Structure 1
Amino acid sequence: MMQARALPSAWAGDAGWPRQLRALAGLWLAILLLYWRDAADMVAIWWTSSTYGHCLFLPPIIGWLVWQRREGLGRITPRFWAPGLVWMALGAAFWLLGDAGSLGVIRHGALILLLQGAVAATLGPAVVRGLLFPLFYAFFMVPVGSELEPALQLLTARIAVALLHLFQVPAHLEGIFITIPTGYFKVAEACSGAKFLVAMTAYGVLVCNVCFRSWTRRALFLGGALLACLLANGVRAFGTIYVAHLTTIDAAVGFDHVVYGWLFFALVMAGVMAVAWPFFDRRPGDQAIDGEALAAIPARAVPPMPVALAAALALILAPPVWSRISTHWGSADLAPPLLPQVAGWHRVATPMRAPWQPRFDGADHRVMARYADGQGHVVDLAIASFGWQQEGRELVGFGQGAADPEGDWSWTSPAWAPVGARGEAIAAPGPVLRHVVTFYRVGGGAVTGSEATVKLETMKARLLGRDQRAVAILISAEEGEGAPADAAIRAFLAALGDPVRLAEAAAPPR
């Protein structure tokens, strides 16, 4: 009864929770209004991408986690807290980095940091300690994990081929393509298991908090759950191909449609929970937090309300304002790039075995041509140039580059490339194999093949208002009998010379 009577007095009073919650609501409203595009993008990704569909359940789960802690929180007197403004400043800085590099995942994470920082700035350290897990768990709302798809495609393909060999089925692996006597199969992005791994991580962390106290048990449970998810997806891919080997490809497709999906994931999850159940060491009625111990945390660095709110609003406003200014300073107009004259090579119009064109959405200019020499080598040269970059028009980003995820071409594996370039092998149905070498350049910087370097240089240019002109140069050749793609690309590069001259002609630095 003493606990029940303590709650009303702790939650009541204009100097306590009501006033602080009004301040928090005001800051959250300001954040969501100023960064509404990022919030809307996150929700749109949750709604449209099967990889992140589970994120739709996370806001109510976080609300439930907070509700679990209501009795303990009711014993705490919330206060403004200056270090919470540092938390918000960190979110503002990360948002600027994400905006400068056109990295949606960083901007989305920064939005979560801003919302968390507002909680810390208005409610104080004791409340933050009580809400530590719900605040941390909010990061799982950030759509991240699809970047693992290429590696998971390769892993799934290798597991499937290993099991096929175990069952005496002849199978040949070429990147993510598996060939058996019945036909060939591609481990597509949707079959990589990334969406199950991402969802299992979010679910496993929640179970670790709700059902376990021991950190050792938590680590073993989470590691076992993720391993089971990866192995189960490889077994599913094997099962589909094995059905095709025993029957027909049509029957295998039907089998895959029945087995694959959230039902499959639910069965894996149920199996993991059944194994872990006997080892749970937190009872359902256990207290989530110790409110009395948290209430004893001393109040320090408590700024006046007007100062705290003014500083918080300044931190919220600063990033989008600076982003507008720096974009204006660094943007420029570009003339269409001219295709080069290459000694010993001439332009040809011979058809490709499978139509190919790199994807660079938002580019100011794109040109492409096919060249041949007198030795039977044939290459395709593509150039894309940008006068400035932002989300939706960027040199490096999801879907940009040699393999359009909405087209017929798929990334299969890394490939040879000269120093300062990126090499990759891509494939189209047939299969038709193609080798692509890519050079990037931002502003007046060095030519590089590193996407991370491109992002870093773009961030620097945007943050400091420098030259944001950028160019991509792709040199590609089809793989054919007696006409290896590497040989054609090497011969063309030798005749072309330093690609820096071509990059400067396409996007001259200021």
Structure 2
Amino acid sequence: MSTTVQTPSRIERDGPVYAVSAGLVLALVFLFHESLANLWLRWGNQKELSHSYFIPLITAWMLWDRRDAIRQSMGPSSWLGVAILAFSVILVWGYQTTHIHLLQHIGLFVSFFGVALVVGGVSLLRLCFFPLAYLVFMIPPPFWIITVTSWQFQLWSSELGVAMIRMFDVPVALSGNVIELPTLNLQVVEACSGLRYLFPFLSLGALAAYFYKGPFWQRAIIILSTIPITIVMNSFRIAITGVLSENYGSQHTEGFLHFFEGWVVFLLCIAILLFVVWLVARLSGQKNVLGTLGLPEAKPIRPAQPFERNRFMVVAGVAAAGVAISAVLLHTSEDELRVPERERFVSLPLEFPGWQVQESPLDVETEQALGADDYIVLNLVNPENEQYNLYVAWLDSQRDGNSWHSPRQCLPGGGWEFQQQGIVSDGENNPLGHPYNRIVMKNGQVRYLVYYWYDQRGRYYADEINMKLGLIWDVATRQRSDGAMVRLMTPIDPEESVADADARLIEMARKTEEILQPYIPD
């Protein structure tokens, strides 16, 4: 007795199968409608993500190209797909609880694999794996990862850019991420970090590696090469901008020419990537380099068992009903966070009797970028004539993109160069009794010692990743996502050592923590 795979034409004419499939799609759209709207908004508002509009189209094209193989790879529906969709629902619940958009974005991404398993089983998922996995490039990284990555890329690009400028015999110096030329200074801001190249270039590199007909390690070289290419070429763009600005005027740092320089460099990045492909192919003995590139032929993956209509109706029906019910419950439930009562920072200067206290408000642009619900910046001089700068910021809730701008990323933008930086962890040698960040920075002949930490609902953090994990836990268990960041600075006098400044700032940090208790509730 033999079994045959049900023909696609019969499935396409089956009204109930079509209806259940449509129901599953509509349920998923309803479940992820907030995620889809947020993705569309992020792609449009963040220039380093503008390429993401094309990612779903590329996936759709790859799936359409293998449509015949898809029909022949349809196997029995898998309950594992229902389990994956259930996991996606849990991730959406996590977003509804914490408002961390990454959770629902990952849930959306994972759901595509669940749908493939529900529709055609493991054989269909295997055939469609890369086109679906390619959708990972449409997911925006968390804001804090973009901030950290951008800062590091700014420093690398600044250092390499200065080295390239010197090759043109132009006198140049670097302070933090400020390039000092004889007639003007260029600040390598976040927009010039190279992330606008890196994210779209990574997606192109992944496609090039997929199209390359060679072993895995060669494909890995191709995709990994996009990172150094991006850094070097972005540094080259900065160097060219600096040289042109020094010789012909600052108009070369803005406007159409700046935009034009960016596109030319991106095309050069693509050319270098193709050269890497050519080089890898030649070193591996390939004579026809063009023959190593092309969309891989998608051969059908024959399922162990044929597609079963009744099984599909049950599995897909359960999945559609479960997703629909979960979506209704999630999107109609109340979601409110508790914000504790606290003293506002406006009265903080009164906590330093006998001191010289001067409030130093931020400019409007910086204030809007920080997005704090309450903040204060104080310049302080104690009776012993010791100077301090105190910055405290408070957020009622850390959600919907509201988060902390770490001094580790912000300070180099002012031309500061970090001589020392690190985290002082818990332990016997920790003078404050909680983790904190410690930085020694220099700008010209001026040096400062900086401490900062995150005071979050009764716990102290120095590491942003641990802080995010604690945030998720507190939102889920305490319905709170409020918190504060505290930054203390003191100048290091030329005649004193860093150890002397440490002793002074430690004493000030202890005093500050006692004062801030009514302003930062546990």
Smaller-chain TM-score range? 0.7 to 0.9
Post-superposition offset of 1:131: 0.5
Matches within 5 A, 1:436-475: 437-445=451-459, 447-465=460-478, 467-475=480-488
Partner residue in 2 for 1:207: 208
Using the alignment, how far apart are the partners of 1:258 and 1:95 within structure 2? 38
String of CA shifts for 1:27-46, please: whole Å, max 9, x gaps.
33223223322211111121
String of CA shifts for 1:299-327, please: whole Å, max 9, x gaps.
79x96634653355435765895798795
Partner residue in 2 for 1:146: 146
Structure 2: gaps spanning 5 or more residues: 279-287, 426-434
Alignment check: 8 A CA contact 1:334 1:386 kept? no
Using the alignment, how far apart are the partners of 2:458 and 2:168 within structure 1? 56
Post-superposition offset of 1:126: 1.4
Matched, 1:382 2:391: yes
- Amino acid corresponding to residue 381 of structure 1 in structure 2: L
Using the alignment, how far apart are the partners of 2:505 and 2:488 within structure 1? 8
Post-superposition offset of 1:114: 2.4
- Amino acid corresponding to residue 385 of structure 1 in structure 2: W
User: What's the secondary structure of 1:437's corresponding residue?
Assistant: strand
Match of 1:89 among 83, 86, 100: 86
Post-superposition offset of 1:339: 1.8
Using the alignment, how far apart are the partners of 1:481 and 1:381 within structure 2? 22
Quick one: structure 1 residues 186 and 257, their matched pair in 2 at CA, closer, same or farther if it must change by over 3 Å? Answer: same
- Amino acid corresponding to residue 239 of structure 2 in structure 1: F
User: What's the secondary structure of 1:332's corresponding residue?
Assistant: coil
Partner residue in 1 for 2:431: none
User: What's the secondary structure of 1:349's corresponding residue?
Assistant: strand
Alignment check: 8 A CA contact 1:16 1:78 kept? no
Using the alignment, how far apart are the partners of 2:109 and 2:53 within structure 1? 15
Post-superposition offset of 1:54: 1.1
String of CA shifts for 1:382-404, please: whole Å, max 9, x gaps.
33334544324x4x35xx45599
Alignment check: 8 A CA contact 1:17 1:77 kept? no
- Amino acid corresponding to residue 55 of structure 1 in structure 2: S
Post-superposition offset of 1:142: 0.6
Matched, 1:310 2:335: no
Post-superposition offset of 1:363: 5.0
Q: Greater CA deviation, 97-106 or 317-326?
A: 317-326
Using the alignment, how far apart are the partners of 2:13 and 2:447 within structure 1? 67
Matched, 1:177 2:178: yes
Post-superposition offset of 1:456: 0.9
Using the alignment, how far apart are the partners of 1:417 and 1:224 within structure 2? 31
Match of 1:132 among 96, 108, 129: 129
Q: Greater CA deviation, 154-163 or 128-137?
A: 154-163
- Amino acid corresponding to residue 440 of structure 1 in structure 2: Y
Using the alignment, how far apart are the partners of 1:320 and 1:498 within structure 2? 51
Match of 2:105 among 108, 112, 116: 108
Quick one: structure 1 residues 390 and 262, their matched pair in 2 at CA, closer, same or farther if it must change by over 3 Å? Answer: same
Partner residue in 2 for 1:3: none
Post-superposition offset of 1:492: 5.2
String of CA shifts for 1:364-385, please: whole Å, max 9, x gaps.
5434443221344433433333
Using the alignment, how far apart are the partners of 2:41 and 2:353 within structure 1? 51
Post-superposition offset of 1:140: 0.8
Post-superposition offset of 1:105: 3.1
Structure 1: gaps spanning 5 or more residues: 1-5
- Amino acid corresponding to residue 115 of structure 2 in structure 1: A
- Amino acid corresponding to residue 212 of structure 2 in structure 1: C
Quick one: structure 1 residues 194 and 112, their matched pair in 2 at CA, closer, same or farther if it must change by over 3 Å? Answer: same
User: What's the secondary structure of 1:379's corresponding residue?
Assistant: strand
Post-superposition offset of 1:66: 0.2
String of CA shifts for 1:163-183, please: whole Å, max 9, x gaps.
233444332222211223232
User: What's the secondary structure of 1:294's corresponding residue?
Assistant: coil
User: What's the secondary structure of 1:124's corresponding residue?
Assistant: helix
Alignment check: 8 A CA contact 2:359 2:378 kept? no
Using the alignment, how far apart are the partners of 1:52 and 1:508 within structure 2? 37
Partner residue in 1 for 2:282: none
User: What's the secondary structure of 1:384's corresponding residue?
Assistant: strand
Matched, 1:188 2:189: yes
Quick one: structure 1 residues 56 and 366, their matched pair in 2 at CA, closer, same or farther if it must change by over 3 Å? Answer: same
Identity %: 19
Quick one: structure 1 residues 384 and 160, their matched pair in 2 at CA, closer, same or farther if it must change by over 3 Å? Answer: closer
Post-superposition offset of 1:274: 5.1
Partner residue in 1 for 2:284: none
Alignment check: 8 A CA contact 1:358 1:382 kept? no
Using the alignment, how far apart are the partners of 2:18 and 2:196 within structure 1? 36
Post-superposition offset of 1:241: 1.6
User: What's the secondary structure of 1:383's corresponding residue?
Assistant: strand
Post-superposition offset of 1:494: 0.9
Matched, 1:506 2:522: no
Quick one: structure 1 residues 44 and 253, their matched pair in 2 at CA, closer, same or farther if it must change by over 3 Å? Answer: closer
Using the alignment, how far apart are the partners of 2:365 and 2:441 within structure 1? 10
- Amino acid corresponding to residue 279 of structure 1 in structure 2: V
User: What's the secondary structure of 1:108's corresponding residue?
Assistant: helix
Quick one: structure 1 residues 466 and 168, their matched pair in 2 at CA, closer, same or farther if it must change by over 3 Å? Answer: same
Matched positions, count: 491
Post-superposition offset of 1:73: 1.0
Which fold has the larger relative contact order, with Cα–Cα distance below 8 Å and residues 6 or more apart in sequence? 2
Matched, 1:334 2:338: no
Matched, 1:238 2:251: no
Using the alignment, how far apart are the partners of 2:437 and 2:334 within structure 1? 29
Structure 1 length normalisation: TM-score?
0.80
Partner residue in 2 for 1:70: 67
Matched, 1:497 2:510: yes
Post-superposition offset of 1:71: 1.1
Partner residue in 2 for 1:31: 28
Partner residue in 2 for 1:294: 302
Partner residue in 1 for 2:51: 54
Alignment check: 8 A CA contact 1:76 1:295 kept? yes
Quick one: structure 1 residues 257 and 29, their matched pair in 2 at CA, closer, same or farther if it must change by over 3 Å? Answer: same
Post-superposition offset of 1:410: 8.2
String of CA shifts for 1:442-466, please: whole Å, max 9, x gaps.
2232x22221122111111122345
Using the alignment, how far apart are the partners of 2:469 and 2:355 within structure 1? 37
Alignment check: 8 A CA contact 1:368 1:381 kept? yes
Structure 2 length normalisation: TM-score?
0.78
Post-superposition offset of 1:190: 1.4
Partner residue in 2 for 1:164: 165
- Amino acid corresponding to residue 457 of structure 2 in structure 1: G
String of CA shifts for 1:187-241, please: whole Å, max 9, x gaps.
1111111121111110111122223243233123223343323211111211222
